Structure 1
Amino acid sequence: MRRTIAVATVLLAAGCTTPAPPVIPPAVDYSVWSAGRSTPVADPLYPEKGNPGLDVLHYGLELDWKPDTKVLTGVATLRIRPVVDAPSITLDFTGLTVDRVLVDGAAGTGSVAASKLVVPTPVVAGRPVTLTVAYHGTPSAVAMPSHRGDADEGIGMRAGKDGTLWTMQEPWGALTWYPVNEHPSDEALYDMAVTVPEGWTAAAGGTPGEVSGGTWHYRSTDPVASYVTTLSVDRYRKLTATGPHGLPITDFVRDGADDRYLPVLKRTPELIGWLEERLGRYPYPTAGILMNDSVSAMETQQMLSMGRGAFRDNDLDYFEAVLIHEYAHQWFGNAVTPTTWTDLWLNEGWATYVQNLYEQKLYGFDDAYLKNYLRRRDAELRASVGPPGTPKAGTFAESNVYLCPAAMLREIHEDLGDKKFFALATAWAADNRNRSQDRAGFTTFVNTETGKDYTTLINEWLDSPTTPK
């Protein structure tokens, strides 16, 4: 009653004018991001990463990099489909300061601890929300759970002493530069706008868009797993070419530092053509690479990340073979993504075997040599690291998940012959495009596609402590 009287008094004092109705923002049409819908799961190897209760449909990243101060300022807008009711929104995030949080446009709060951003706003299953997080800081890499030779440099975004910025981030690391549901089962669409000073270039994954006022735009209309997103800022020179069926190719190189790679990069249309003959049409609207200061290479989607430190001996044949490997991942790993990290062999086995086949062409060795090499290395790796189908959390992406499943694929290839084997590879990538898959799905697909039962062979190659006979 008191509230009614107070309102009436105000109206009388104002000459009985009727106040304007409140402005109600239009409802968000989340269906425009439906291609980013996923079925997130908890990871058996790394359950602390990711949140199976959330499905991020789209990431809108507005980033600004200052090379002189080495400060990254960001605004991340996430379109989220909650999978379960929850008292808060929990994402992976570390190393940067949160400045502002909005939930559906209303002010919220958020705290970062133990590599998690927690926004204490309840969510309801099936009722999408928009989360906006503004943040800043100097990104730094985190530890990689592996004994690999490149593990010492860490994973995630880092700033170079010269003001450059780059990332390598498998199995995680996106959390070092934007709030993310850091798990391969939750793929999403992306829009990135990265602002850099004059004389600098921002290279990122996705399809390159306009460059306006120092802001570089990139868009991913196919879903992307967070570990294959990328961003690099450097004093790049941009090279363009056209691949098969008019495919736009964009490479980012640094004059002087990357001159030696140019002869191979110029042959990228030929390399993609070789892959298409065996695997089917390249699955994305654009291709390309960026060079950075890593000691590794990465199959980042639509824009490969190739580390200069991985090719110190000036072996261009090796660079070419690795380029084939990373491009093969666009079919195996990116177009078809493993549901959990237990099935990393699905990515690496295929990419490694495709690389092996290309190396036959490059170096001239025969089938018998390849088979003997794979079986010898398989035996060594099973003894030292274990079988590829049951990896350990502390030995992420070690050589057993590369070479052991490649040896398995060699056995299937020999049994089927070229025509049927490459038909199988093409169908696997095409029929499962933009989906997550696992061992059971692969086994069923192979058996159905070939009309033969490979279940025992696949299980033995993935689980046996010794090389199958």
Structure 2
Amino acid sequence: MNRPILYVALVPALLITGCTAEPSRVPQSAATVPATGPAAASPTPAEDAYAAWQAGRSTPVADPIYPKRGTDALDVLHYDLALDWSPSKRVLTGTATLQVRPTKDAESFSLDFEPYDIDSLTVDGASATGEVTKEKLTVATPVTADKPFTLVVAYHGKPKTVPMPSKRGDTHPLGLTVDKDGGLWTMQEPYGALTWYPANDQPSDEALYDIAVTVPKGWSGIASGTPKGQDGNTFRYQSTDPVASYLTTLAVGKYKKVTAKGPHGLPLTYWYRPTDKRALPVLKKSPKYLTWLEKKFGPYPFPSGGVVMVDSDSGMETQQMVTLGSAVFSFGADQFELDVVHEYAHQWFGDAVTPTNWQDLWLNEGWAQYAQLVYEKETAHLTNADFDAWFRQADAALRKKYGPPGHPRPSEFAMSNVYICGAAMLRQLQSTIGDKKFFALAHAWAQDHRNTQQTRKSFTAFVNEQTGKDFTAFIDAWLDSRTTPPKSLKDRKGTNQT
């Protein structure tokens, strides 16, 4: 995620990436662990009819930061969303078909959902009773653990956003937003998918997706996933790799489209409005950015990629189709380029390898931020001394203001500490084990854990296994300390733990 925050007292501009941290620039030079994600167990006989969606199987957990969002009682395997947008009426009409595996026996079940009008609702083809209250769709139908069912919800209404739990200057309400021209766009981290379809709106439940968007003639419908063509005014997209709800996207408007090829012939699409033309030269450099990222972290993890421009102040690593706010360009083409690199880096860190819960936001933001800063260091030819000095200065200020990155505050989502302090830990790890071993570790982390959800515990175990040394105390210090850890953990007397 890319969200700019300025710390002028520290450096000329400290930009981070919504996922961008708040914009953070480095100073100019003076001269394998078992996956905790989709279960590997063979399907039970009751699941045989749902075998086509087994790649969407997850092990949901209750989120400790936002426990009211999502549920560990359901594992959504697949979402099929048929959406129709009327700009003149500002009404979204949808039919959501969900294949769901209950993880517990229950007399009813609930999903996150805004109060749209429900036109019809069925469970396994039979009419069912459902009610939307307090942003939850509750269906009064008993379910049995590991016995999948199909839920179909037809609905319509005017989209409404939900408040963003953050004090960042570049934030706005979460979810499906209607612009002044009747277009649509969404950014929804840590949640907000509930504003346009019934969802298990938390990171630990990833699913497969089919999305069809019908729009008026002359308009375009854009969504996350691989483009699957256009039937009349209906645009289709498919995700055969599992996707967390916060990584889905939807945009509708009078867009223009540019197609390109990335490394290995990767299909790329850039969607822009006339007001976004100044961003095109940077977007067209996407093959260069992706090639650079592949050299560091291994093959791009999905079958397509691209960017859609929207009327936001931030950016988001939505899977296979990055969502970038046009206002990000106000920081200049150089910063916009860094934000593009940041969001593409998230395709490896956050999208292909997803944190199990929001306690571990540092796990994707720290990696994406570090990738962005390494790119900036290499292109700006910065010295290691300047790089390291900046990291320690920025880390100290951010820990003092926002606390350690391993303990994010629910009311301050995605503040700069989870970006920069997480990246500072990776920088210190690189300095400790050397460049070759570090990037081999980074490559293996991204590739070996593709399409899984991971945690601090699994990351620590992975580092220890890869290096043959015990880095547990090192990682704990960087994630838990209220002050910047010493360069060597042999002397930890001054490290103030939480």
TM range (shorter): over 0.9
Shift of 1:89: 1.8
Are the equivalent residues in 1 in contact too, given 2:114–2:160 (CA < 8 A)? no
AA partner of residue 101 (structure 1) = L
Find the counterpart in structure 1 of residue 22 from structure 2.
none
Question: 1:417 aligned to 2:434?
Answer: yes
Question: Per-residue displacement from partner, 1:3-44 (whole Å, max 9, x unpaired)?
Answer: xxxxxxxxxxxxxxxxxxxxxxxx982010000000000011
Find the counterpart in structure 2 of residue 203 from structure 1.
222
Find the counterpart in structure 2 of residue 217 from structure 1.
236
AA partner of residue 281 (structure 1) = P
Shift of 1:364: 3.0
Find the counterpart in structure 2 of residue 267 from structure 1.
285
Q: Which runs of 5+ in 2 are unaligned?
A: 1-46, 487-498
Find the counterpart in structure 1 of residue 148 from structure 2.
128
Find the counterpart in structure 1 of residue 38 from structure 2.
none
Are the equivalent residues in 1 in contact too, given 2:225–2:239 (CA < 8 A)? yes
Shift of 1:402: 0.4
Query: How far, CA to CA, are the matches of 2:406 and 2:398 in structure 1?
Result: 13
Shift of 1:450: 1.4
Secondary structure at the residue paired with 2:55?
helix
1:182 to 184, 198, 201: 201
Instruction: Tell me which of the two structures has the higher relative contact order, counting C-alpha pairs closer than 8 angstroms and 6 or more residues apart.
Output: 2
Shift of 1:371: 1.2
Secondary structure at the residue paired with 2:389?
helix
Deviates more, 1:155-164 or 1:33-42: 155-164
Query: How far, CA to CA, are the matches of 1:368 and 1:138 in structure 2?
Result: 54
- Quick one: percent identity of the two aligned structures? 58
AA partner of residue 223 (structure 2) = A
Secondary structure at the residue paired with 1:258?
helix
Query: How far, CA to CA, are the matches of 1:218 and 1:125 in structure 2?
Result: 30
1:349 to 366, 380, 385: 366
Question: Per-residue displacement from partner, 1:258-277 (whole Å, max 9, x unpaired)?
Answer: 11111111111111000000
Shift of 1:95: 3.6
Find the counterpart in structure 2 of residue 137 from structure 1.
157
Question: 1:302 aligned to 2:320?
Answer: yes
Show the 5 A alignment for 1:283-322.
Answer: 283-313=301-331, 315-322=332-339
Are the equivalent residues in 1 in contact too, given 2:217–2:233 (CA < 8 A)? yes
Query: How far, CA to CA, are the matches of 1:299 and 1:107 in structure 2?
Result: 37
Query: How far, CA to CA, are the matches of 1:100 and 1:299 in structure 2?
Result: 33
Query: How far, CA to CA, are the matches of 1:364 and 1:322 in structure 2?
Result: 19
AA partner of residue 112 (structure 2) = D
Query: How far, CA to CA, are the matches of 1:306 and 1:69 in structure 2?
Result: 26
Secondary structure at the residue paired with 2:150?
strand
Shift of 1:188: 0.2
Query: How far, CA to CA, are the matches of 1:270 and 1:235 in structure 2?
Result: 28
AA partner of residue 290 (structure 1) = V
AA partner of residue 209 (structure 1) = K
Find the counterpart in structure 1 of residue 98 from structure 2.
78
Question: 1:159 aligned to 2:178?
Answer: yes
Give the TM-score normalised by structure 1: 0.93
Are the equivalent residues in 2 in contact too, given 1:100–1:109 (CA < 8 A)? no
Question: 1:241 aligned to 2:247?
Answer: no
Secondary structure at the residue paired with 2:396?
helix
Show the 5 A alignment for 1:360-439.
Answer: 360-439=377-456
AA partner of residue 357 (structure 1) = V
Question: Per-residue displacement from partner, 1:229-277 (whole Å, max 9, x unpaired)?
Answer: 001001111110001111000110112x111111111111111000000
Shift of 1:293: 0.4
Secondary structure at the residue paired with 1:194?
strand
Shift of 1:68: 1.1
1:65 to 74, 85, 89: 85
Query: How far, CA to CA, are the matches of 1:363 and 1:284 in structure 2?
Result: 29
Secondary structure at the residue paired with 1:262?
helix
Give the TM-score normalised by structure 2: 0.87
Find the counterpart in structure 2 of residue 333 from structure 1.
350
Shift of 1:361: 2.6
Find the counterpart in structure 1 of residue 42 from structure 2.
none
Shift of 1:213: 1.2
Deviates more, 1:338-347 or 1:374-383: 374-383
Question: Per-residue displacement from partner, 1:191-232 (whole Å, max 9, x unpaired)?
Answer: 001000110001110000110110000000000000010010
Find the counterpart in structure 2 of residue 448 from structure 1.
465
AA partner of residue 100 (structure 1) = S
Shift of 1:150: 2.2
Deviates more, 1:357-366 or 1:375-384: 357-366
Are the equivalent residues in 2 in contact too, given 1:228–1:301 (CA < 8 A)? yes
Are the equivalent residues in 1 in contact too, given 2:115–2:133 (CA < 8 A)? no
AA partner of residue 264 (structure 1) = V
Secondary structure at the residue paired with 1:32?
helix
CA radius of gyration, larger in: 1
Deviates more, 1:114-123 or 1:366-375: 366-375
Question: Per-residue displacement from partner, 1:328-385 (whole Å, max 9, x unpaired)?
Answer: 0000001111011000000100000000001113333222112111111111111111
Question: Per-residue displacement from partner, 1:389-424 (whole Å, max 9, x unpaired)?
Answer: 111111111111000010000001112222111110
AA partner of residue 436 (structure 1) = Q
Shift of 1:141: 1.4
Query: How far, CA to CA, are the matches of 1:445 and 1:94 in structure 2?
Result: 39
Query: How far, CA to CA, are the matches of 1:291 and 1:247 in structure 2?
Result: 20
Question: Per-residue displacement from partner, 1:286-332 (whole Å, max 9, x unpaired)?
Answer: 0100000011100000000000122224x111011000100000000
Find the counterpart in structure 2 of residue 191 from structure 1.
210
Shift of 1:117: 0.4
Q: Alignment length, in residue pairs?
A: 440
Query: How far, CA to CA, are the matches of 2:120 and 2:391 in structure 1?
Result: 53
Find the counterpart in structure 2 of residue 6 from structure 1.
none
Query: How far, CA to CA, are the matches of 2:121 and 2:384 in structure 1?
Result: 58
Are the equivalent residues in 2 in contact too, given 1:379–1:466 (CA < 8 A)? yes
Question: Per-residue displacement from partner, 1:66-91 (whole Å, max 9, x unpaired)?
Answer: 11111100000000000000111200
Query: How far, CA to CA, are the matches of 1:234 and 1:365 in structure 2?
Result: 41
AA partner of residue 128 (structure 1) = P
Are the equivalent residues in 1 in contact too, given 2:282–2:337 (CA < 8 A)? yes
Are the equivalent residues in 2 in contact too, given 1:239–1:250 (CA < 8 A)? yes
Are the equivalent residues in 1 in contact too, given 2:464–2:470 (CA < 8 A)? yes
